[in-house]
Amino acid sequence: MKKKILSLLLAGCLCLAACGQSAESSSNAESAPAPASAPAGSAEPVSLSGKVTVYMPSPSGLADKLAGAFTAKTGVEVEQFQGTTGEILARLETEKANPAADVVILASWSDGLSLKAGGLLESYTPANAGKINKGWIDADSTLFGYSASAVGVIYNTTIYPELNADWAELADVRYQGDIAIPDPEKSGACKDFLAGFSTGTDDGEDVMQSWADNGLTVPGANKAALEAVTTGEKGILIAGVDYNAYSSMARGEPLAIYYPATGTVVNPRPAMIMNTAPNMDNAKAFIDFLFSDEAQELVAAAYLLPGRSDVKCDNRSNLDEIPQITTDWDKMMEAASDIAAKLNAMCQ
């Protein structure tokens, strides 16, 4: 009897090992480029095959949908790495010796510009380039703003039924200890807003300091910060990313958002082709796809601002309805990291 149990157990272990092996080998097969002799796709002028590796930030739902739609259209597998802007940049840096990424999408235009300054990007003119919002492609055609987010003030309506304070007014004693901000070293959108706010307005940094004096806390990246306001731990989120708020509101959470009168920063989310891309053709096709009707509809459905001026959204404020600070992106790119670190230091 004992022997039987023993052998059963051993067999179990062997089975597990075998399962493991097969799972591994099948994942290897997936990642290997498909053979060139694969039957050519039907109508595509240039038939694509193999895979494209894309690093993209949240929202993960959108990333998965874009990947799925692209695969359905071209037959190219999409390998994704999803992370915050900080994590994606870190991954690129770690892999410098053996680049794996074809397309990189970031949530921050200034971080895109610093990739460009590092000489990492490939220039390309995507399809539908004429329809893209003004300024959402850089002069050298390396950054493609296929979507954008803006930051605003998000508040919990069970605590504040109505709120319309301007940035500086949030330092009022009424809101003491009840204000939060996403960690600008993790949230690209928040970082760019702070950069724009301090370089584009006269008293940006003083206002930041007055928030800190009023008990500003930094609960974490975008979503974690929004979570603090959703649960009512804090009442007001300064520089909260708007698409997160819109999707929570659509689910029925007691939240509301507005853009303060002084204006905010609309941050195009750049998609970029790495000049070390192992699958260059697929990377270009992916960029073309991002500006297609289908992808832009997906973008709008995820409560982001579409990158094409002819695609409108009906579930959120459109681009022309958002008051904006005058922005100088080159200046912002230089200052962004320092300002982010400064804010975190103020709040410690």
Partner 1 sequence: MRQLSATRKSVLPLIGLLVILGVLIVCPLIMVFAEAVISDGRLDFSGAWTMIADSGNLQTIWNSLRLGLCVVLCSTVIAVPTAYLLARTQLAKRRWLDIIFMIPFMTPPYIASMGWILFMQKRGLFQQLFPSSGNFSEKFFCFGGLVLVMSLHVFPFLMTMMKNAISNIPASLEESGAVFGAGFGRRLRKIFAPLLTGNYAIGALLVFVKTLAEYGTPYTLGRRIGYYVFTTDIHRYSTTAPIDFGRSASLSAVLVAICMGLWLLQNHITDRCSYRLVGGKGSRPAATTLHPAGHLLAWVWAAVVALAAIGIPYFSIISTSLIHLRGYGLTPGNFTFAHYAELFTTPKSLRAIQTSLFLASASAVICSALGTAVVLAARRRKGKLGKAVEAVSLLPEMLPSIVLIIGMMLFWNAIYKTIPLYNTIGIMVLAYVALYLPYTVQYVTSAFAQINDSLMQAGRTFGGSPSYVFRRITLPMIFKGILSGWMMIFIIAFRELVTASLIAPPNVLVVSTYINREFEQGSVSLGMAMAVLCVLITTAALLIMNGLSGRKERKT
* Residues of the shown chain interacting with partner 1 in the complex, contacts defined by CB under 8 A: 1-2, 5-6, 9, 13, 16-17, 19-20, 23-24, 27-28, 31, 53, 55, 58-60, 64, 79-82, 84-87, 89-91, 93-95, 97-98, 100, 156, 158, 185-186, 219-224, 227, 230-234, 251-255, 337, 348
Minimum CB–partner distance for residue 92 and partner 1 (Å) = 8
Residue 315, both tokens: 């579930």
**Cβ proximity of 249 and 157 under 8 Å:** no
CA angle 66, 71, 73 (to 5 degrees): 95
CA dihedral 24, 26, 30, 32 (to 10 degrees): 70
- Any idea which residue has 């500086």 for tokens? 168
Q: In angstroms, what is the minimal distance from the CB of 294 to partner 1?
A: 21
The minimum distance between CB 18 and partner 1, in angstroms, equals: 10
Task: Name the residue nearer to partner 1 (CB basis): 37 or 94.
Answer: 94
Cis-peptide, bond into residue 35, ω within 30° of zero: no
Whole-number CA gyration radius for the chain: 23
| Minimum gap (Å) between residue 324 Cβ and partner 1 | 26
In the complex with partner 1, which residue's Cβ is closer, 126 or 219? 219
Work out the end-to-end distance of the chain between its first and last CA atoms, rounded to an integer number of angstroms: 65
The beta strand positions in the chain, using DSSP E, are: 51-56, 77-82, 103-105, 144-156, 179-180, 236-241, 255-258, 266-273, 305-306
Smallest Cα–Cα separation from 189: which of 334, 301, 319, 340?
A: 340
- Compute the least distance from the CB of residue 228 to partner 1, in Å: 8
Nearer to partner 1, 95 or 166 (CB): 95
CB 33 within 8 A of CB 50: yes
Smallest distance from the beta carbon of 25 to partner 1, in angstroms?
Answer: 11
Structure tokens at 44: 């595509």
Which burial class, exposed, middle or buried, applies to 338 when counting CB atoms under 10 A from its CB (0-12, 13-18, 19+)? exposed
Nearer to partner 1, 87 or 297 (CB): 87
CB of 100 to partner 1, least distance (A): 6
Tally the residues of the chain.
Answer: 348
Q: Encoding tokens for residue 146?
A: 């296929």
- Residue closer to partner 1, measured from CB, 23 or 40: 23
Which residue number, 1 or 139, has a Cβ lying nearer to partner 1? 1
Q: Tell me whether residue 120 or residue 132 sits nearer to partner 1 (CB atom).
A: 120
Least separation in angstroms between residue 147's CB and partner 1 is: 16
Within its chain, how far is the Cα of 153 from the centroid?
19
Residue closer to partner 1, measured from CB, 83 or 309: 83
Residues in CB range of 252: below 8 A, 6 or more apart: none
DSSP 8-state assignment for residue 304: P
Least gap, CB of 94 to partner 1 (angstroms): 7
Nearer to partner 1, 158 or 315 (CB): 158
| Residue among 96, 75, 347, 121 nearest 225 (CA) | 347
